[in-house]
Amino acid sequence: MNLTISGHHLEITPSLREYVLTKLDRVTRHFDQVVDINVLLSVEKLTEKERRQKAEVTLHVKGKDIFIEHAAEDMYAAVDQLMDKLDRQVCRHKGRLQNHHHVAAKRIDARAT
């Protein structure tokens, strides 16, 4: 698994990097077929009063790319909400990949005899 954490108009501190890594552990615990993760943390300065902290993640799994973004006033809150969204999307993708086809009852009886 390749992991890239980068910042736009923001320096990635070791504590922020560690926080993102601990939050990503939850996602990789649910689904272990992750190929690549790109995390972009940025600060958008719209006006003097209004500063927006934005977190984006692109998760590449086999057969699909999942892109999630979230903005908040605090970077840690943005990362929390982002990981909640990402966890729901990954669980939904995992559910779609599972084989939901069942063998018919008459086929099971024929194999047993």
pLDDT, averaged in runs of 10, over the chain (113 residues): 90 93 88 88 77 90 89 92 93 80 63 55
Strand order in the sheet with 34-45: 2-8, 34-45, 51-61, 64-72
Helix count (H) and strand count (E) of the chain?
3, 4
Helix (H, G, I), strand (E, B) or coil at 78: helix
Residue 50 host element (H or E): none
Query: How far is 104 from 51, CA to CA, in rounded Å?
Result: 59
As given in the structure block, the two tokens for residue 78 are 């943005």
Give the pTM. Answer: 0.78
Which CATH number do you get for residue 23?
3.30.160.100
Our count of domains for the chain comes to 1
> Which domain covers residue 33, as residue numbers?
2-112
- Write the pLDDT tens digit of every residue in 39-67: 999 998 776 566 789 999 999 988 789 99
